[in-house]
Structure 1
């Protein structure tokens, strides 16, 4: 029997839908039956992750665990979470389930290696919560990466508003500010830029391809999910 992938999504809904698209398009397949069996739990009611970590907002963990229980009941054999900031609760989620959770930062590292960038300085774009929790900086340091992140004014003026535009379905408007910040990180010495919020690849895809390596965490998570499903 083929392994069933559980996808804990809704953070945001468009990013989760795009993950399912990329999971399908990246799978080597000739027919329906070659694709990855998957169950998407898309719950946009999950409280805001950055607000919970930075501003005392509602804890998203109960809603995340509720989604995990739903995916367990649906027969999932592993969990993919196409939201970077939600991985701030990774340890609590993994402790609450016997299913393996495919860590998105590890997936990003595999994507960087696939792009030929195996160490050195890299740019990381993400939500304020992801960067404040040092999800990338700490986990990738052991692999030899030095993470360069946007300046606070770049976050406030460009990255955070652009993520909000994608969440509001105004995807094309997000391209300009996101592309500018990615280019600024490359100018500071990055060898590649990790799009460490799953809204950011949607904004970047809305305009011309960037002239340097970028690691989409949507594609990265899709690739490791396909590898898991194929054993």
Structure 2
């Protein structure tokens, strides 16, 4: 693990040991050059990735490349690394896909090169030369990178033109890097230099104003190439310096909602369904990213509050920490009683818990501005903890709960042998909870909070009417929590 406050870089070395090691070395040299505000740690992963995928990365080979990369990144994350260095030009052809699934930020090598080229040519990205002719960028890229048009994407402005060596008599660059006597085989003199000299001369003949190596191995011998009218950049040094001084912050990732699940299991499924139903989406990809830690082994929240069960605080906290480690942006706990423990665990988390109780009370105050009394159907533990009583009082509202006999029936509807936690959603459990709701409605309560996340499974309607005609709105905290989480996710996506 890295030390607190220390910048850390993980260098993936398997696509080209020589070129990657050169980038790592230049990163170390640049970080030791003085003036660094923070110490730097560098981890190097040399595990090789070879075979046909290096030369022809398509189909299954491409998939293997992506899986290799995400495994390396996840390993860096487990080791406490915060930034990934990917010294492989071709892998940057799918950096957006990779970054979207990476827990760590990946420094974009081509963006680093592009920024340097713009400074070298002394012009803005969208400008043109005084003559009106596009500035010409010569690129020494191997076949796969060239065919993926990587540099064309980064220099898409009409002010630039990307040139590649003509291949009338063979692919000099690919042979210089991957050939039997190429750089990857350890040949840093002779044939690779002759091939690249020819490729560079061709680029200059086409009007290239600067030559950009598009393979990390080429930087190893760039200073041995024949002098030309156009400068040859050391892209490995450029990447290393860019990474070291880069202050762009983490790349944008999809907003992620963490869910403490299993409290109870059916309520978790109900919450997830309500997240989906509340999300404006035209396709699968428009929905919100969730990470769910379904942990039914969390001790019963009510049992502890009424004095006859183990304390669930540690299990709730550990579950939240797993969601935090999974890079959740917010945490939802679809369990009313569990919110009696939120004040204990929130100060130790770096991720905010969306409080279902306060969100529910805020909803009530907005929807029923003249309301004074609110019914609460909840476990005896939730009632005894006073969490709803305090949340309601903070908004000038008064909690009304069933009498002792009907509160016992509420507990039977939830925990009884044929209660909702046992999987029943009809029969005696429904009769019990309707009897408790009827008492509250007949006492003049106009709104009833279904303060146990399983209760909306028994009373799914928006309004309750007793046999005597008394009516009360039924307020579903699960639905309110789902809507609030969706709103937070949409806000986060719009303003990362």
Q: TM-score under structure 1 normalisation?
A: 0.94
Kept in 2: contact 1:119–1:144 (CA 8 A): no
Match of 2:234 in 1: none
Matched, 1:182 2:433: no
Kept in 2: contact 1:127–1:197 (CA 8 A): yes
Structure 1 residues 135-174: aligned runs within 5 Å = 135-156=387-408, 158-164=409-415, 165-173=419-427, 174=429
Distance 1:209 1:143 in 2: 23
2:331 is paired with a residue whose SS is strand
Distance 2:440 2:322 in 1: 40
1:171 is paired with a residue whose SS is coil
Distance 2:462 2:349 in 1: 41
Q: TM-score under structure 2 normalisation?
A: 0.45
Higher relative contact order (CA 8 A, sep 6+): 1
Deviates more, 1:18-27 or 1:174-183: 174-183
Deviates more, 1:29-38 or 1:207-216: 207-216
Distance 2:452 2:366 in 1: 19
Distance 1:139 1:130 in 2: 12
Matched, 1:213 2:468: no
2:455 is aligned, of 194, 200, 207, to 200
**1:56 positional shift:** 4.1
Match of 1:134 in 2: 386
Kept in 2: contact 1:36–1:229 (CA 8 A): yes
Kept in 1: contact 2:365–2:395 (CA 8 A): no
Deviations 1:88-129 (A, max 9, x none): 111111012011111111121133245435631110110001
Kept in 1: contact 2:462–2:474 (CA 8 A): no
Structure index of larger Rg: 2
Deviations 1:169-223 (A, max 9, x none): 0111322221221121111121100001101111112x89624311111101111
Distance 1:100 1:134 in 2: 22
Structure 1 residues 47-196: aligned runs within 5 Å = 47-113=299-365, 115-116=367-368, 119-156=371-408, 158-164=409-415, 165-173=419-427, 174-196=429-451
Matched, 1:29 2:281: yes
What stretches of structure 2 of length at least 5 have no aligned partner?
Answer: 1-252, 466-471, 492-496
Q: Relative to 1, partners in 2 of residues 1:193 and 1:209: Cα closer, same or farther, differing over 3 Å?
A: closer
Kept in 2: contact 1:122–1:193 (CA 8 A): yes
Kept in 2: contact 1:195–1:215 (CA 8 A): yes
Matched, 1:222 2:222: no
Q: Relative to 1, partners in 2 of residues 1:151 and 1:107: Cα closer, same or farther, differing over 3 Å?
A: same
CA RMSD of aligned residues (A): 1.6
Distance 1:10 1:71 in 2: 14
Distance 1:88 1:208 in 2: 26
